[in-house]
Structure 1
Amino acid sequence: MIRKISNFIICFFIIFSIPIDSKASEDRDYKTEMKQDILILMLSYPQYIVDVEKKSDDEVYIIMESGKKIIYDDKKEKNHEVKLTNPDLQDMLEQDYPLEKNTEIMDKNFDPGRARHYELLSEVYGNSKGAIEKNLASLKYGYTNYQFNKQNNANASLEAALKELMPLAKSRSDIGSILYPASGTFNYRVISGTGRLSPHSYGIAIDLKSDKRDYWKWSSEKAGKERLSDYPKELVEAFEKNNFVWGGKWGHFDILHFEYRPEIILKARYFANWNNNDEWFKGVPLNEETNKYIEIINNKL
């Protein structure tokens, strides 16, 4: 009888200890990524995100300078299309952007940076056409003046990328033929076939010279791959260095498209090589500002 009871107790602990340990590990991984995501958001939008609030285990918010609260994870099950249409912050940062050069078209639903959180963008760059237009600055390159949003260093970042590329364009025809003339920057419109505002509406995207192989709706995957193979990596790297994502790294490829998205690039830059043995913030350059954000996140989460 004693042996049976002992066996029962052993089986009980074996059965019930496994899922408990697994869940703890799962929770820890989720919380770590949440902390990393929120730190990246604070670093990406330092003048706009001022605090973090935890209402319950399921409700964590970033607090904007305006007082607006934006939920990190709404906990809703979503397919890829819904994540594009109505992403929360976690959805927006879920896919890791690859900083290495690619010569193949990405998997169909791999689109890091293509999900945009419109409440966040509106808080930073303007919540109406008129408000956005007031935030535009003129930037001349080639023979044309282009309009780009000056908030959050977007215009300055585009200028820095172009400043690096212009000398190269003089000696590299493969770069010059793509850089000039650009197809456009600010254009208040929705994305074709959707009701969603284009990032061009916020003045945070630039389309370079167009080629018929550039866009997934115009081109076959084979032709898109050929275009990728010919695309100069120095051009892509100059934009990525200045916090622009490239549509050539999307499954729904948009090869002429570069979009100012510091949160996507900084997450790739700082946390791509992170592992579970590291401090959750390892990889981020530490300074007074970063330490302040880490302290806020540790205290609130």
Structure 2
Amino acid sequence: MKYTCALLLYLLVGVAERQTAAIPAGAQKLIASYPDAIAGFSNNYVLFKDNAKLLWDDGIKNKSAKQLLESPDVEDMFTQAYPKGDMLASPQKGIDPGRIRNEAFLKKLYGENRSAVNKNLVQITWCPKLVGQKITVTRLNGVAQQLMKVSKELDEHPELKKYLTNIGGTFNWRYINGTKRLSTHSFGTTIDINTTYSDYWEWACKCTSEDVKVNYRNRIPQAIVDAFERHGFIWGGKWYLYDTMHFEYRPELL
């Protein structure tokens, strides 16, 4: 009997391992990062806990940079690896890890429209000791909780205060300037820190063309970037089309 049970356990573990191996690595990261919303993966679909499903791979290969930004499938969000930690060099043209976003996926996580997102917004106090500013973000998928961890960590660094005061914005249902793509601010998952010490490619070129050649610039200390990344937020300063005030919750990329 002892050997029969051991064999059965061995077989069951083998089945589980084969099932996990059949799930694309990116989909596994989504399942791990959003356990409150995502139930699993099957037959090229991400499965949600409300019984909805979303196509993983649309089968279109070799998409152009414009297609990746304007009509990505869920799989495309993992096209470029996000480089956590110190940057060794300025991002090269076309390298914008995290800017490829499947809008339908974000709507499933946070709300289909402004009204739906509004229902899950909460107010938190940003850096209570240094700043004490009230900001509004979503509570879903742990965003507010994780941002409070960032706040608590940065609140112990008075030398960073000037970058952390006068928060540039959090929730704001809107399109990205010059596009018909929703900004992640629309979902309450994003924070812009003090614009006075920030740099943005559109400000530099005075244009909205995503094909423009830009010269990289950044004044945000690495200590701030590290604190955000530790708690699931990517930084727009790691994009060729840089946005150094911008941090958005994308734990699947970290």
Structures share fold, TM-score greater than 0.5: yes
Distance 1:33 1:65, change over 3 A: closer
User: Matches of 1:68 and 1:33 in 2, distance apart?
Assistant: 20
Report the secondary structure of 2:201's partner residue.
coil
Are 1:247 and 2:236 an aligned pair?
Answer: yes
Aligned twin of 1:237: 226
- 1:260 aligns to what? 249
Question: Residue 155 of structure 1: which of 141, 144, 158 is its match?
Answer: 144
User: CA-to-partner distance for each residue in 1:228-261, whole Å, 9 max, x for gaps?
Assistant: xx43111100000000000000011000000001
Aligned with residue 84 of structure 2, among 65, 75, 99: 99
Whole-angstrom distance in 1 between the partners of 2:117 and 2:241? 27
RMSD over aligned Cα, in angstroms? Answer: 1.9
Q: 1:105, 1:202 → 2: CA distance? A: 29
**Match of 1:153, as an amino acid?**
G
- Mapping of residues 163-242 of structure 1, within 5 Å: 163-168=152-157, 170=158, 172=159, 175-211=160-196, 214-219=199-204, 221-222=214-215, 224-225=216-217, 227=218, 230-242=219-231
1:75 paired to 2:75: no
**Higher RCO (CA 8 Å, separation ≥ 6 residues):** 1
* SS of equivalent residue, structure 1 residue 259: strand
Give, in whole Å, the separation in 1 of the partners of 2:178 and 2:78.
24
Single out whichever of 87-96 and 139-148 deviates more from structure 2.
139-148
1:45-67 per-position Cα deviation (integer Å, ceiling 9, x unaligned) = 1111112211xxxxx11111122
- 1:81 CA drift (Å): 1.3
The structure having more radius of gyration, on CA atoms, is 1
TM-score, normalised to structure 2, is 0.82
User: For the structure 1 residues 167 and 213, does the alpha-carbon distance in structure 2 shift closer, same or farther, using more than 3 Å as the test?
Assistant: closer
CA contact (8 A) 1:105 1:253 kept: no
Q: CA deviation at 1:100?
A: 2.7
Aligned pair 1:108/2:93, yes or no? yes
SS in 2 for 1:183: coil
Judged with a 3 Å threshold, the aligned counterparts in structure 2 of structure 1 residues 212 and 103 are, in CA distance, closer, same or farther, namely: farther
Unmatched segments (≥5 aa) in structure 1: 1-30, 55-59, 266-301
Q: Greater helix share, 1 or 2?
A: 1
Q: Are residues 52 and 103 of structure 1, via their aligned partners in 2, closer, same or farther at CA, if it must alter by over 3 Å?
A: closer
Structure-1-length-normalised TM-score: 0.70
Render the CA deviation track for 1:273-294: whole Å, top value 9, x for unaligned. Answer: xxxxxxxxxxxxxxxxxxxxxx
Deviation at 1:104, TM superposition (A): 3.6
Deviation at 1:38, TM superposition (A): 1.3
- Cα deviation, residue 137, structure 1: 0.5
C-alpha distance in 1 between matches for 2:170 and 2:224: 17
In 2: Cα distance, 1:148 partner to 1:103 partner: 32
Identical positions, percent: 34
Gaps of 5+ in 2: 1-19, 206-213
Equivalent position SS for 1:46: coil
Pairing partner for 1:136 from 121, 124, 147: 121
SS state at 1:206 partner: strand
Could you tell me how far apart the structure 2 residues matched to 1:154 and 1:212 are? 24
- Counterpart position of 1:61: 45
- The match for 2:6 is none
Give, in angstroms, the shift of residue 144 of structure 1: 2.5
